[in-house]
Amino acid sequence: MTKLVIDTDPGWDDALVLVLLLAKRDIDVLCVTTVWGNEDIADTTTNARRMTYCCGRPDIPIYAGCMQALKPVSIDVPCPPSSVVRALPPLGTVVNGTYAPEMLTAMARAHGPELTILAIGSMTNIAAAIEGDRAAMKTVGTVVVTGGTFTERKTHEFNLGSDPLATNKLLEAELNPVMITFDVEMTMNKGDWAQQTMKDMKTKWATFYAKVIQDQLDQHNYEANEGVFDQLGALYALQPSLFNIEPMTIRVESGRIIRDPAGHPARVATSVNIDAAYDLLFKRLA
């Protein structure tokens, strides 16, 4: 069974990641660490409590992490808060006292190559963990990062662009992360069909997933239905064979990924089996 730590900033899409990974008990989620990002650290931590309780997993410990970027930059928050998530009671899960970056390094020392860290928020906690114990973090089997784009966009890609210094520390540590890019996320563009499929399923989690998406659409975040975002990181953790992964050397500027022979090693998802990925998503919600 995969040993997993989820480093997250829920958020609507990260809340759906937690559904995909927690609602069934076939993944050994060791803990959830929270980071600033789509909301401030108090809200992302409360939302994590809401989701672990909602998913029937109040036993999973939560550790709060970094409150701001290592070097703050001006960047727009990419989406509104989720009214659906905020309506859930924050019950059952006590936030533990250990600082999230310290817990990441403790998990790395304890589990090393058996551990997967799913980093689906800003990279600040990861960078702070590297600063705290780089040697331990280099033993981690897989660090999965969602974010970054190869294309020019009007706004920075948030997960990698919100804390450029932290993103660079991640790459410079040469953890050889697996990167699920915004470009691949946007190929999962069957949103209207997926919404209807989930409504027709009428299961608890499919209904919840569809409601979270609809709430974003109602708040004019139309991008929410144009791809599958941080949820794709959960699908990678569940079934890596869905993805084509290409080793490359890269650098990142404000969330933009640039191939560079003088850069740092990463394993980058270049495509995903779209139909099979949706099949897995629906199975997790069944």
> What's the chain's length in residues?
286
Sheet holding 28-34, edge to edge: 95-96, 62-64, 28-34, 3-8, 115-119, 142-146, 178-180, 264-272, 243-253, 256-259
User: Cβ(2)–Cβ(8) under 8 Å?
Assistant: no
pLDDT in tens, 208-240: 999 999 999 999 999 999 999 999 999 999 999
Q: Determine the Cα–Cα distance for residues 130 and 228; give it in Å rounded to an integer.
A: 29
Is 90 exceeded by the pLDDT of residue 157?
no
**What average pLDDT does range 140-158 have in this prediction?**
86
User: Positive or negative CA dihedral for 181, 71, 126, 266?
Assistant: positive
Per-residue pLDDT at 267: 98
Record: fold of 3-285? Inosine-uridine Nucleoside N-ribohydrolase; Chain A (3.90.245)
Identify residue 156 by its one-letter amino acid code.
H
Task: For residue 124, give the 3-state DSSP assignment.
Answer: helix
Per-residue pLDDT at 95: 82
Residue 23, both tokens: 């609602």
Q: Where are the domains of the chain?
A: 3-285
- Lowest mean pLDDT across 89-103, 190-204, 271-285: 89-103
Percent of the chain exceeding pLDDT 90 equals 88
Per-residue pLDDT at 153: 67
**What average pLDDT does range 247-269 have in this prediction?**
96
Close Cβ partners of 22 (under 8 Å, ≥ 6 residues apart): 29, 51, 52, 55, 56, 57, 60
Q: Determine the Cα–Cα distance for residues 188 and 121; give it in Å rounded to an integer.
A: 20
**What average pLDDT does range 250-262 have in this prediction?**
94
Per-residue pLDDT at 219: 97
Would the pTM count as exceeding 0.85? yes
What are the DSSP calls for 16-75, one per residue? HHHHHHHSSS-SEEEEEEE-SSSS-HHHHHHHHHHHHHHTT-TTS-EEE--SS-SS----
